[in-house]
Amino acid sequence: MTCCLKVDFVSWYSMHMKQINCATVIAEHRRQKGITQEELAAHLGVVKATVSKWETGASYPDIAQLPVLAAFFDISVDTLINYAPQMPEAEIVKLYQRLALDFTQQPFESVIAEIEGMIKKYYSCYSLLHRMALLYINHAPMAGDAERTAQIIRAAIKLCQRVTGNSKDQQLTWATINIQAVCHLAVNEGEAVLELMGDSMMMSLPDRTHIAQAHRLMGNEDKAQETMQADLFIKIMEIFQSMMVALQSNINDFARAEALYLRAEALADLFNMRRINVNNMAMLYILGAMMYQTATHTEKSLSVLKKYADVCINDFFPFAVRGDDFLTN
């Protein structure tokens, strides 16, 4: 039994050394040190022919010799065996694109097998795991079998959990949470989405959409509608406020500033801004008056100031964010 285990380990080690290929690393670092194969062999207690075989890839150093070699060259064992647990982002993107294309040209399971191999090799490269989870969820329906599709989606969930549980990159973590939510929705796990994301309206748009879908899966249509209403309100406010910033930034470019003002006013009329967020209307009119006065259009400036005064007198107090017949409370 012991002998068999030893043979299995040697086979495993030999196979992985072939994949890693330390031959060129040994040769390059030996030359950089300016020593001969004989001198390196003497340091390691082997014959010159052994070093020669290492450098040509005909054989590989024993595992016990790796730290000795690495220390001699003043490099890490990872550098010695040419192993990088992190794949550069540009290579990850290329790999993702190539594998996505392979799904259209190669047998489904062979592509899945390659993805599994990359995951094992780069299990601590969280950006790569994120991309592989994307490949899983995007191509799982191609499995052709509901059970196999579900297996792949659950594999994607596990990858997402590893990323969110270990990555220090907050942006990557949130992006991966979105993928995990999509996976849970794909296997009808609405409760898992709410557990993952909570029920906060402070999430980004995709997150709020996932929360609404989760409520719908759980049969809570009222809560789903409430979530989507809140999402609409937030996005309308974000667009309007971005237009205010753009208007203020272009206050000295009258043509552009007036175009922004008129569009913002149209948006405000469309969504009844005077009722749902009167503060936005006050901001719009103040900026509009400034814009027209800067361009010496005094009459138009006074006209907009009258609108501002009307809002302040009739609508501003008591200040409240209110709904209407479209954006309900």
Closest-CA residue to 324 (of 268, 283, 286): 268
**Can you give the pLDDT at residue 58?**
84
What is the value of pTM for the model shown? 0.56
Using 50, 70 and 90 to split pLDDT, how confident is the model at 36? very high
pLDDT over 60 at 78, yes or no: yes
**Contact of 189 with 200, CB cutoff 8 Å:** no
pLDDT over 70 at 88, yes or no: yes
Range from 14-18, 157-161, 268-272, 281-285 that averages highest in pLDDT: 157-161
Amino acid, single-letter form, for residue 33: K
Cis? peptide before 318, omega within 30° of 0: yes
pLDDT over 80 at 81, yes or no: no
When comparing pLDDT for 11 and 85, which is higher? 85
Q: What is the 3-state secondary structure (H, E, C) of 218-264?
A: CCCHHHHHHHHHHHHHHHHHHHHHHHHHHHHHCCCCHHHHHHHHHHH
pLDDT one-digit tens code per residue, 206-254? 567 888 888 888 888 888 888 888 788 888 888 998 999 999 999 999 9
**Can you give the pLDDT at residue 3?**
39
pLDDT over 90 at 9, yes or no: no
